[in-house]
Structure 1
Amino acid sequence: LVSKVPQVLLSIGEGVTCVKPGDKVIPLCLPQCGECSFCLNPDTNCCLKTHRFTCKGKAIHHFLWISTFSEYTVMPDSAIARIDDDAPLDKVCLFGCGFSTGYGAAINTAKVKPGSTCAIFGLGGVGLSVVVGCKSAGASRIIGIDINKDKFTKARELGATECINPQDFKKPIQEVLLEMTGHGVDYSFEVVGHTDTMVSALVSCHMGSGTCVLVGTPPLGSQLSFDPLLLFTGRTWKGCLIGGWKTKDSIPKLVSGYMEKKFNPDVLITHTLPFDKINEGFELLQSGKSIHTVLVF
């Protein structure tokens, strides 16, 4: 992941009351308008607001509401959250998406129970945040899975009890997990975004009560093919959008929890670079040499 630090608010438009100039804020990759049917539903966070820019009266769509590495930008008040004045911007930027998504996948979407067994497919910045969430929820066994063994040290530091590389086995990784656990894991998390891995994560769940959470984003137009009997016996397959948080309400609380040292995602930041080295940040990401690179102006 490559993130830009959150911002200090410079000015506000007419009618804005939730923030004031000088406030520290995090732009939200998923807004919370508080008015649409999704925002009013306590069981979803998928706000129906779809864009923030217009040109000649037509909507301009953009990636994840932020879609900018610019030094200055304009945001609606539904897509911005005021955070603690003392929060270090070069650290809490992780709460804009990466950490909150993975942590929330375990806490909110899966609702991991104490003493349970979890498997996390993919140990990048988001997958490692799932590890933190599973540990915080009291899981007794947390199995990290990745083809990059360099991620294992950090995973164990954050709470993984075991780490395995699918390339070390001649059999499918779901069979390995079934043998390791007996009947499958209680919770699995796919944080890669590959359809084959999604099916493997589902199969690795306990056949009668396992929950598989899809966190990774697959390529546009991807299609899944799986045996429906995998669900018929009792497994649950769930999607996860930004950790299930209602962002405007929850992100400030997560930052406050960080300030109170309830969790420490700082260890996920492996590189900090000036903005003019943004390409170096993406090269580190593509080579698997970084977990999270923060860009600063």
Structure 2
Amino acid sequence: MKDLPDNIPRIFGHEAFGVVESVGEQVDEFAAGDAVVPTFLGQCSECVDCRSARSNMCSKYRFAVRPGMPRDGTTRFTDGQGRPVHHFFGVSSFAEYTVVDVNQVVKLNPAVPPALACLLSCGASTGKKFGVTHFINPKELGEEKPVHQAIAEMTDGGADYCFECIGLAALMNDAFRSSRDGWGKTIILGVEMHGAPLCISPHEILHGKSVIGSMFGGVKPKQDIPILADKYMNKELELDKFITHEVGLKDINQAFDLLLQGKSLRCTIWMDK
């Protein structure tokens, strides 16, 4: 991402499951031994946004890509020489131990398998087995038929809802153009990786289309993640097939290689293997 601060060294990772080792003096929401998932998006449950059903964007501790903790900006990590090591999204889960603000931790049913609980910490990709009924390969369409035209033909005028999950302005525009006149809605989930602006036709806006952004899928972490966990336990939510590989922390580079090669949906990185 173009605007990601270059504070290094830093500990990456933001999807995780863990067990509370200890809590701060003023923390009463959690106790040592609790099963939890950290989240990059916080929920203070006190501000106007956290109390509103219309938003999941905490306005007391606003989301930002910062190198330290959300309250004071300081780091809780140091290297072997005592030099500071920076945080990532306030989670930094590629480590045996991490320090996370209480607003970014959610207590979870300990019966949820750890490898799958990690997915609830942020999100997961989708595939045909998870609800996709049609697939379009732009390379097979040729230069004469753009993607939005193929989708319009397939859906009799355009899709009711279009989701952009990759993080490219060009695809965001494709998603918008693929939505239906009158009520089509485009939801931007991806973070534009090059910092490019989104340019859309004002004429198509006049035709009744709309565009909105969605951080963390609109989920309020502390109230919604436990619901998703219950749905999994009740076999209402498919998670198992998202995990395609597992490695130990010492082999974390192998996990990145699998991702870059397109061979992995989600790779669980175990701290104790």
Distance 1:225 1:262 in 2: 38
Q: Which moved more, 1:58-67 or 1:159-168?
A: 58-67
Give the one of 65, 84, 102 matched to 2:90: 65
Over the aligned positions, Cα root-mean-square deviation in angstroms equals 2.1
Whether 1:97 aligns to 2:122 is yes
Q: Structure 2: how far apart are the matches of 1:204 and 1:257?
A: 32
Counterpart of 1:162 in structure 2 is 134
The match for 1:35 is 46
Amino acid at match of 1:45: N
- Given the alignment, which residue of 245, 250, 258 partners 1:271? 245
**Match of 1:122?**
none
TM superposition score normalised by structure 2 = 0.82
Picking from 8, 21, 24, the partner of 2:19 is 8
User: Are the equivalent residues in 1 in contact too, given 2:159–2:184 (CA < 8 A)?
Assistant: yes
- CA pair 59-158 structure 1, distance change in 2 beyond 3 A: same
Residues 228, 237 of structure 2: 8 Å contact kept: no
Q: Which runs of 5+ in 1 are unaligned?
A: 100-124, 129-154
Tell me, which stretches of 5 or more residues in structure 2 are unaligned? Answer: 1-12, 76-85
Q: 1:5 to 1:227 in 2, by over 3 A?
A: closer
The alignment status of 1:292 with 2:266, answered yes or no, reads yes
1:69-109 superposed Cα distances (whole Å, 9 cap, x missing partner): 1111112211111101211111111000014xxxxxxxxxx
Give the counterpart letter for 1:274 in structure 2.
G
Match for 2:114: what amino acid? L
- Give the deviation of 1:279 after TM superposition: 0.7
State the structure with bigger RCO (CA 8 A, min sep 6), 1 or 2.
Answer: 1
Indicate the percent of aligned positions where both proteins have the same amino acid: 33
The count of residues paired between Structure 1 and Structure 2 equals 242
Q: Which amino acid aligns with 2:269?
A: L
Within 1, Cα distance between the matches of 2:230 and 2:157?
Answer: 39
1:97–1:54 distance in 2 versus 1, CA, 3 Å:
closer
In the other structure, the counterpart of 1:83 is 108
Equivalent position of 2:83 in the other structure: none
Q: Give the TM-score taking structure 1 as reference length.
A: 0.76
Which amino acid counterpart does residue 167 of structure 1 have in structure 2? K
Q: What does 1:1-297 correspond to in 2, within 5 Å?
A: 5-48=16-59, 49-50=61-62, 53=68, 59=74, 62-99=87-124, 125=125, 128=126, 155-170=127-142, 171-219=145-193, 221-297=195-271
Q: Sort the Cα spacing of 1:83 and 1:262 in 2 relative to 1 into closer, same or farther, 3 A.
A: same
Q: Deviations over 1:53-76 (max 9, x none)?
A: 469x65568433213411111122
CA contact (8 A) 2:179 2:186 kept: yes
**Partner amino acid, structure 2, of 1:97:** C
Greater per-residue helix proportion? 1
Quote the Cα distance in structure 1 between the aligned partners of 2:91 and 2:253: 19
Cα 1:58/1:89, change in 2 over 3 Å = closer
Aligned-pair CA distance for 1:37: 2.9
Larger Rg: 2
Structure 1 residue 38: Cα displacement: 2.1
- Would you tell me which structure has more strand in proportion to its own residues? 1
**Native 8 Å contact 1:38 1:44 kept in 2:** yes
